[in-house]
Amino acid sequence: MKKIKKQCLLLAALIAAGSMSAFVGCGPKGEQVDESKSQLYIGNMYAGWGNEWLYKWKEEFETLHASTSFESGKTGVQIWIDDQRDAYSGKSLLTSIASQTQDMYFTEEAYYYDYVAQDACAEITDIVTEDLSAKYGENGSIADKMNPEARDYYNLEDGETDRYYMLPVNETYFGIMYDVDLFMARSFFVSNQSTATSTKFTNNKEMFAAGPDGQTGTYDDGLPATYAQFYDLMKKMKDSSITPFIWGGKYASTYGNRFMESAWAAADGVAQMNLNYTLSGSATTLVESITPASKSYDGKAYDTSTVTLKAEPTTITDANANILQKQAGKYYALQLVSNIVKDETNFDSLAFSGSTSHTGAQTEYLYSANNPNKQRIAMLLDGTWWRPEAKATFENMAVEMGEDYSMANRNFGLMPVPKPTADMVGTPNTYITSNEAVAFVSAYCPANKLKLAKEFLQFCFTNNSMKDYTRITDATMPYAYSFTDKTEKASYTASLTTFGQQMMAIHDEGHIVRGYSSNQKYINNYSYFADEWDWRTTNSVVSGKYPFTMFHEKSALTAKEYFEGCYAHHLNNNLWN
């Protein structure tokens, strides 16, 4: 068929007049609608992860199916990507999807059960359970390689019949991003000559101490293994005229909550942290008592209190799960944050500025590497999506200051949250997913587009597509990656950035809290668990505010008081009475 070309200005005029849907027109490279091809329209929540990975998938799929007919009288495919942050965010999209015009979506923070209850997603069981050997030369299906916890959650099986409506896209974490090159230049890595009472530092890799995992030869070598070493590290930074931290002050409470959740998981481990979602199992880290203690750092008292655990495990059920508010990891997370934010020398002045967004903090962090008017900043509190999100800043710096400041030439890592005490060192580094991205086909996708939409969705979760995603974003996907042998895996790993290599190592180790719950009480009270469970405490303690803000504003407030307030708040909730 003859290729139909329309001028962009004409399309813009038609769109403005309401005679055409906004997704029809010229693409970012001047691409125009070819009516001889099937058209697929995708809504992408354009946030930290950007869209480079999605355009890669688009181009690969269009090439693969250049001669495929998905509709009578049409050959080939054109994929149109509409990037919007707010309109396609998980919560907003659920309220508007019936009036949206996209065939499928990539979004974040979309609560699966709400989407299914509202019939917002087309069923995709066939493409999730289909064997991929004939199409893509892979053994098994998407379901087969999906992380088992994710599979149990997303498979809403009815008796013996599988039911899938959505697929998880990535594994992302929130925590301490650190400048590896700065750590090397200033000898901020912990030395194996350190003792229990004296932390020594080095930039000699041969002398790096084992990190919190207690093993040498892993990605956390030289990083602080305990809270005590971490506090010593911050002191050394300040003694070296380096500011330890920055974060987006505009979202200080939100970012603080996410970081504390990471610290909670790091202290309690996967099995104990998962109790907060399953509401079932044996709790072994419940606090019996707290022994007060403190240590002075440059004249400021840091809370170093320790806990005594209950001697016997407690069986957790729907009836008594509120006792999980007494988990030791929760207390230690509060203690860590209180020590960081009560000492104003630990962070940049913009960290509590309401005008400093997360991207503003990223810019300050990156530019501090060559800013004569302020101190260098060593660490950023953010999500693992921050590097793609700061792509424009990296590019601007490369133009202004040279390629040494480009994303490709700067070296960053995710610091595992240290263990609260020395006796915990050697337990696995545990991470908790944050802002999980998902993909689904809209229930409102036209019937003549459904096959194409599902085919593209399946393509996105093939082995090669997954490898492209990780190479582009540094993020892994919650599926098993396939390699022909160790040599191929080593070659692929070497193609990743240092940050991407660490993400792959975390993926392979598998010590990840995914936050899935199929517990009916949790599902029925999702807003309570999502909004209150982690850090809501009695109003008499903090006037309804959250830890990051309150510890900063009320220096007399202790981690113990906040911790006990959390238990009191949930003890009095009608859900448990």
| Parallel, antiparallel or unpaired: strands 294-297 and 242-246 | unpaired
Domain spans of the chain, in order of start: 37-171+437-482
DSSP 169: -
DSSP state string for 351-376: GG-TT--HHHHHHHHHHGGG-TTS-E
Q: Helix axis angle, 559-571 relative to 328-342, nearest 10°? A: 140
For 208, phi then psi, to 5°, come to: -65, 135
CA 459, 461, 463, 466 dihedral sign is: positive
Q: Model's pTM, two decimal places?
A: 0.92
> Distance of CA 408 to CAs 292, 324, 422, Å?
46, 43, 36
User: In the CATH hierarchy, which fold is given to the domain comprising 37-171+437-482?
Assistant: D-Maltodextrin-Binding Protein; domain 2 (3.40.190)
> Distance of CA 561 to CAs 268, 539, 540, Å?
20, 12, 11
Rounded Cα gap, residues 306 and 292, in angstroms:
7
Rounded Cα gap, residues 135 and 65, in angstroms:
12
Local confidence pLDDT in tens for the 577 residues of the chain: 333 333 333 333 333 333 333 344 455 556 899 999 999 999 999 999 999 999 999 999 999 999 999 999 999 999 999 999 999 999 999 999 999 999 999 999 999 999 999 999 999 999 999 999 999 999 999 999 999 999 999 999 887 899 999 999 999 999 999 999 999 999 999 999 999 999 999 999 999 999 999 999 999 999 999 999 999 999 999 999 999 999 999 999 999 999 999 999 999 999 999 999 999 999 999 999 999 999 999 999 999 999 999 999 999 999 999 999 999 999 999 999 999 999 999 999 999 999 999 999 999 999 999 999 999 999 999 999 999 999 999 999 999 999 999 999 999 999 999 999 999 999 999 999 987 899 999 999 999 999 999 999 999 999 999 999 999 999 999 999 999 999 999 999 999 999 999 999 999 999 999 999 999 999 999 999 998 999 988 866 666 678 999 999 998 999 999 999 999 999 888 888 7
Rounded Cα gap, residues 360 and 363, in angstroms:
5
Q: What is the Cβ-side half-sphere exposure of residue 14, based on CA atoms within 13 angstroms?
A: 14
